[in-house]
Structure 1
Amino acid sequence: MAFESLTERLQSAMSKLRRKGKVSASDVKEMMREIRLALLEADVNFKVVKDFVKRVSDRAVGVEVLESLTPAQQIVKIVNEELTATLGSDVVALNKAPKIPTIVMMVGLQGAGKTTFTGKLANYLKKNEQARPLMIAGDVYRPAAIDQLKVLGQQLDVPVFDMGTEVSPVTIVEKGLEQARANKNDLVLIDTAGRLHIDDLLMNELKEIKELANPNDILLVVDAMTGQDAVNVAESFNEQLDITGVVVTKLDGDTRGGAALSIRAVTGKPIKFVGSGEKLTDLEIFYPDRMASRILGMGDMLTLIEKAQQDYDEKKAEELAQKMKENSFDFNDFIEQLEQVMNMGPLEDLVKMIPGMSGVPGLDNVKMDPKDIERKKAMVFSMTPAERENPELLNPSRRRRLAAGSGNSVVEVNRMIKQFNEAKKMMHQMSKGNMNIPGMDQMFGTGVKGKLGKMAMNRMMKQNKKKKKKKKKK
C-alpha cells in the first residue's frame, strides 16, 4: 500500500518525543531532520519538503501545549494539520454544468490509467449521483483503448460512443456530444489519447478538443508509481491545458506516494479522486485530512465506515442493527458479515484504517488469508440450521462433528466459535451506544490517535441515530 515506508519513518521520528515531558528546540530540530529525510525518500518534491519542514518547525518551537495533550502529541497534531494543508485542506468536487450535459475530459500520458478511470468515474457517478453518463472513445491511436472502453460500458450498462480509429478525435468528440444532447445524457466522459511522453502533436489535439467541448472539468490522470516524474507531467499539462484537477491512480501499488504529496503544492490544482485497486468500485474521493491521517498511521475510520455502507442495503443494515440490539446475532449473520468485509478489499489494508492499528508491531508482516474466511464458512456450513441459529447448542460432541465435517481441527472450530462470541458481545454493546467496550483502548489508544478513532466511531453512531429520527418523522 502507498505511503507505508513514509508512515513508518514519520512514526519513528515522532515516537522519540513521546517519552519526553518537555520538548526542546534541539528535539524539534532532530525530528525535523528525520521528517525531511522521510519525505525526500518518499519522492516528495524538494521545494515542497523545504516549505513543509519550515512551517512545522515555526509552529513547533515554543508552541503552547494544550492542556489535554503532551508536547509530543501537540507536535503530532501540528504535523497532521500541515500535512493536510499540503494535500489541499478541503475536498474539491467535480464542477457541474448549469445545464446538461456536464462534460469531463480525461488527459494524461499513456499507461496512467485514463480509460480505466473513465469507467470507474462513470460507475461512481451513476451509482452515487444517479447520473446518466455517456463515454466517448477519443483515443484513436490505441485500438485496444476503444475495445476496453466498450467492455467497461457493457459491464456498467453505460453507452459508449465511438467512430473507430480512422476518424479525427475532434470529430468523434463533436458527434459524441451531439448524441449526448439528443439522448439527454446529463454526463459526458471523454477518454483522450496519451503518449509515452509529452509532445506538441498530443497537446495541440487536446487543445482542439478542449476548445470544441468546453469541458467543465479537465482531469489529469497520473500514475503514483512514476514518483517525482508525475509532478513534472502535472506541471506540463497544467501549463498547456489549465487542468481543473488531478486523479492519482495505483495508490494501492508498491509506491512511495510522493506524487500525491507534491502535486497539489506544485500545481495549485486539487487532487479530486484516487484509484486504490483494479475493481471498478476501487475509486475514492480524495479527502486531504483522511489521507494525512493514514500517512501518519492514525487510521481512517470514516473511509472504512463508508466502504462498509457501500456494500449494505438499508433494509439489511436495519435488520442487523435490530439483531445486534436484541443480541440475536447468529452464525448466518456472522458469515454474511465476513463476506461483506471480503468485498471491501484486502483485510490488511482495512485493519490499517483503524486508528492506532498501523503501529501494531508485526502488522506489516501479517497477510490475512482469504482462505481463512473459506475455512470459517466450511465450519458454519457443516452446522445444522438449528445450530446456526442457536450457537449455544454447540457442545463438545457437536464441535467434533463440525471439525470432521469441515476438514478442520477441534481447536480451529473452538477458535472460530470464540471469535463469533466476542464479535457478538461487542456488537451488542455498540448497539446500546456503549463505546467503553473492553479492548477499546487497546484498539484506539489513549492519545491523539485514540481520540480521533473514538470521535469517528461516535460520529458514526450519531449519524445512524439521525437517520432513524428522520425515518420516524416520515
Structure 2
Amino acid sequence: MFDNLTERLSGVMKTLRGEARLTESNIQDALREVRMALLEADVALPVIKVFIEQIRQRAIGHEVLDSLSPGQALIGIVHQELIAIMGGEKNELNLNVTPPAVILMAGLQGAGKTTSSGKLAKWLMAQKKKKVMLVSCDIYRPAAIEQLELLARQTGAEFFPSQTDQRPAEICSAAMDYARKHHLDVVIVDTAGRLGIDEAMMQEISELERLLKPVETLFVVDAMQGQDAVNTAKAFADALPLTGVILTKLDGDARGGAALSVRHITGKPIKFAGIAEKLDGLEPFYPERMASRILGMGDVLGLIEDAQRASDQKEAERLMKKMKSGKGFDLNDFAQQFQQMKKMGGMNAMLEKMPHQLTQAAQNMNVDEKIINRSEGIINSMTPQERAKPELLKASRKRRIAAGSGVSVQEINRLLAQFEQTRKMMKMMNKGGMSKMMRAVKGMFPQMR
C-alpha cells in the first residue's frame, strides 16, 4: 500500500538534501510535489488543502537542527501532520459497558462487512479474551447468513441462527435475549448493505441502532474505492451516530487516499484496517505507524508484534539456547524460521512493514514466496538425520533430495549456502558482532539476486 505516495515523498526529501535551511522558495517547490503526490494517491481535495497549509505554516523559516538535513526536517513535519490528519492517537473499541456490548456493522454491499465481522470476532477472542456471538440481519443478500455462520465456525465464535423470512428487528431482539441468558461479552451484528445509499437501508439500520443501542457503530468501507469511499462514509456519518471506521482491502490499494481522507471528512476515527484476506488479517489502526509506513520508515513495532504472535515461546527459548551456545543450529531450526514467516503473513506481509529502502532491496533481489516454499520442500525431502547433520549431504544424497523435491542440485547447494550464512549470523549475534552480522546479511539469499 502507499507505494506511489512513498516514492513521491522520498523524492521530495532527496530534492531538499544539501539546502542550508528551509525557505519560501524551496518549501513551495517541495509542497507542490507533496500536493501532486496526494492527488495521485486519491486523497480528497479538502483534506489536501488543509494538510498543505498546515505544513507550509510550520515549515517556513523552520530552523534545521544540526543533526538534520532540511529534507529530514520537512519530512518530520509531514510525518506529524499525517498523524494528525489520520486521527492523532490510536482509538480503542469502547467495551466498558455491562455485557453484552453490541457492535453494529454498517456499510455498502461488497465493502467487506460480513468478513470484517468474522475477523473482528477472532480479534476480540484472541486479543481481549471475550466471548463473542455473531448475528446476521442481512436477510436480502443470498447466502449472507450462511457466510457468517461459516465464519463463526472458523473463528470459534458463537452464532445466532436467523432466517430470511424474519425481520431484522425481530432477529436482534431474540439474539440479545440469548446473549444475556448465556453471559456473552460481545454481540457483533452484521447488517444488510445495498449497492448504493438508499433511504430504505438507512431507515432499517437506524431502527436497529435505536433498538440495540450499540456501544460501537462501525462503518466498514472499501479502501479501493478512493474518493467514493470518503463520500459514502460522509453519508453514513450524517445518518448514523458512527463511532468509528474499518478500512478494508487496504493491502490492495497502492494509493491509500481513503486512509488519509476518511478521518478528516467524517470526524470519526479509523479503528481497524483490513490488511489481508485471512481471518487474522485485521489490525488496530495506529495513525503514527501508518504515517511512518507512508513515509517509507516502515512499521517496526508492528513487525515485532506480528513475530510475537506467531512465535512459540518454548520454541523461541530453545533456539535462544542454541544461539548462546553457538552450536546445534540445524536445518530443522532453519525450516522453523520459514514456518514463522508464514504465520506472520508471508514475505510480502513482512515487507509491507519494513522501511522502504529494505523493501526496495528485497524487490530488486526478486524475493518470492515460491522460493520459500521450494526451500521448505527441499528440507522436507531430507531424512531426520540429514536435517540434524547437514554435513552428511554429499553428492549422492543431494541427487536423491533433488529428485524427491523436484528441484536441481544447484538449488540445494544454494539453500545450504544460505543456511551456512544464517548459522554464521547466529554466531556473530552471540559474540556481539553486529557490524559483521550486517555484512553477512548482504551475502544471504544468493539465489534472489
**Same fold by TM-score greater than 0.5:** yes
Separation in structure 2 between the aligned mates of residue 349 and residue 104 of structure 1, nearest angstrom? 28
State the Cα distance separating 1:440 from its structure 2 match.
7.3
Aligned CA distance change for structure 1 residues 395 and 120 (closer, same or farther; 3 Å)? same
Unaligned 5+ segments in structure 1 are: 444-474
Counterpart of 1:343? 343
Residues 22 and 62, structure 2, Cα contact 8 Å, conserved in 1: no
Counterpart of 2:375? 376
Counterpart of 1:24? 23
Residues 18 and 69, structure 2, Cα contact 8 Å, conserved in 1: no
Counterpart of 1:387? 386
Which one-letter code corresponds to 1:334 in the other structure? F
Residues 21 and 64, structure 2, Cα contact 8 Å, conserved in 1: no
State the Cα distance separating 1:424 from its structure 2 match.
2.6
Which one-letter code corresponds to 2:348 in the other structure? E
State the Cα distance separating 1:238 from its structure 2 match.
1.0
Separation in structure 2 between the aligned mates of residue 242 and residue 313 of structure 1, nearest angstrom? 42
The TM-score with structure 1 as length reference comes to: 0.87
Separation in structure 1 between the aligned mates of residue 275 and residue 24 of structure 2, nearest angstrom? 39
Q: Are positions 1:41 and 2:40 aligned together? A: yes
> What is the DSSP-based 3-state SS (H/G/I as helix, E as strand, rest coil) of the residue aligned with 1:360?
helix
Aligned CA distance change for structure 1 residues 329 and 357 (closer, same or farther; 3 Å)? farther
Separation in structure 2 between the aligned mates of residue 134 and residue 437 of structure 1, nearest angstrom? 52
Unaligned 5+ segments in structure 2 are: 443-449
Aligned CA distance change for structure 1 residues 144 and 391 (closer, same or farther; 3 Å)? same
Which region of structure 1 is more displaced relative to structure 2, 36-45 or 249-258? 249-258
Aligned CA distance change for structure 1 residues 246 and 123 (closer, same or farther; 3 Å)? same
Separation in structure 2 between the aligned mates of residue 339 and residue 11 of structure 1, nearest angstrom? 33
Q: Any idea what the Cα deviations from partners look like across 1:262-283, whole Å, max 9, x if unmatched?
A: 0111111110000011110111
State the Cα distance separating 1:317 from its structure 2 match.
2.0
Counterpart of 2:103? 104
Aligned CA distance change for structure 1 residues 418 and 161 (closer, same or farther; 3 Å)? same
Which region of structure 1 is more displaced relative to structure 2, 221-230 or 407-416? 407-416
Separation in structure 2 between the aligned mates of residue 442 and residue 80 of structure 1, nearest angstrom? 30
> What is the DSSP-based 3-state SS (H/G/I as helix, E as strand, rest coil) of the residue aligned with 1:89?
coil
Q: Are positions 1:219 and 2:199 aligned together? A: no
Separation in structure 2 between the aligned mates of residue 66 and residue 268 of structure 1, nearest angstrom? 34
> What is the DSSP-based 3-state SS (H/G/I as helix, E as strand, rest coil) of the residue aligned with 2:318?
helix
Which one-letter code corresponds to 1:337 in the other structure? Q
Counterpart of 1:355? 355
Residues 138 and 192, structure 1, Cα contact 8 Å, conserved in 2: yes
Q: Are positions 1:68 and 2:67 aligned together? A: yes
State the Cα distance separating 1:433 from its structure 2 match.
6.5
Aligned CA distance change for structure 1 residues 89 and 430 (closer, same or farther; 3 Å)? farther
Aligned CA distance change for structure 1 residues 364 and 28 (closer, same or farther; 3 Å)? farther
Figure out how many residues of one structure are paired with residues of the other and give that number.
441
Counterpart of 2:299? 300
Alignment of 1:10-409 (within 5 A): 10-327=9-326, 328-357=328-357, 360=360, 364=363, 368-394=367-393, 399=398, 402-403=401-402, 406-409=405-408
Separation in structure 1 between the aligned mates of residue 44 and residue 393 of structure 2, nearest angstrom? 60
Separation in structure 2 between the aligned mates of residue 275 and residue 71 of structure 1, nearest angstrom? 35
Which one-letter code corresponds to 1:340 in the other structure? Q
Aligned CA distance change for structure 1 residues 189 and 352 (closer, same or farther; 3 Å)? closer
Residues 321 and 431, structure 1, Cα contact 8 Å, conserved in 2: no
Which region of structure 1 is more displaced relative to structure 2, 183-192 or 299-308? 299-308
State the Cα distance separating 1:124 from its structure 2 match.
0.9
Counterpart of 1:454? none
State the Cα distance separating 1:371 from its structure 2 match.
2.7
Q: Any idea what the Cα deviations from partners look like across 1:177-224, whole Å, max 9, x if unmatched?
A: 000001111110000111111122111111111111111000000000
Q: Any idea what the Cα deviations from partners look like across 1:377-427, whole Å, max 9, x if unmatched?
A: 233234343332233444566556654554434432232122212223334
Separation in structure 1 between the aligned mates of residue 121 and residue 104 of structure 2, nearest angstrom? 12
Separation in structure 1 between the aligned mates of residue 400 and residue 150 of structure 2, nearest angstrom? 47
Separation in structure 1 between the aligned mates of residue 349 and residue 22 of structure 2, nearest angstrom? 33
Residues 139 and 145, structure 1, Cα contact 8 Å, conserved in 2: yes
State the Cα distance separating 1:57 from its structure 2 match.
1.7
Which one-letter code corresponds to 2:83 in the other structure? T
State the Cα distance separating 1:162 from its structure 2 match.
2.9
Aligned CA distance change for structure 1 residues 317 and 375 (closer, same or farther; 3 Å)? same
Residues 2 and 255, structure 2, Cα contact 8 Å, conserved in 1: yes
State the Cα distance separating 1:334 from its structure 2 match.
0.6
State the Cα distance separating 1:50 from its structure 2 match.
1.0
Separation in structure 2 between the aligned mates of residue 51 and residue 441 of structure 1, nearest angstrom? 46
Residues 348 and 367, structure 1, Cα contact 8 Å, conserved in 2: no
Residues 351 and 357, structure 1, Cα contact 8 Å, conserved in 2: no
Separation in structure 2 between the aligned mates of residue 426 and residue 189 of structure 1, nearest angstrom? 47
RMSD across aligned C-alpha pairs, in angstroms?
2.3
Q: Any idea what the Cα deviations from partners look like across 1:297-355, whole Å, max 9, x if unmatched?
A: 11111111212222222222222222222233211011111122123224134124222
Which one-letter code corresponds to 2:335 in the other structure? I
State the Cα distance separating 1:106 from its structure 2 match.
0.3
Separation in structure 1 between the aligned mates of residue 318 and residue 67 of structure 2, nearest angstrom? 40
Separation in structure 2 between the aligned mates of residue 416 and residue 181 of structure 1, nearest angstrom? 57
Separation in structure 2 between the aligned mates of residue 376 and residue 404 of structure 1, nearest angstrom? 14
State the Cα distance separating 1:165 from its structure 2 match.
1.0
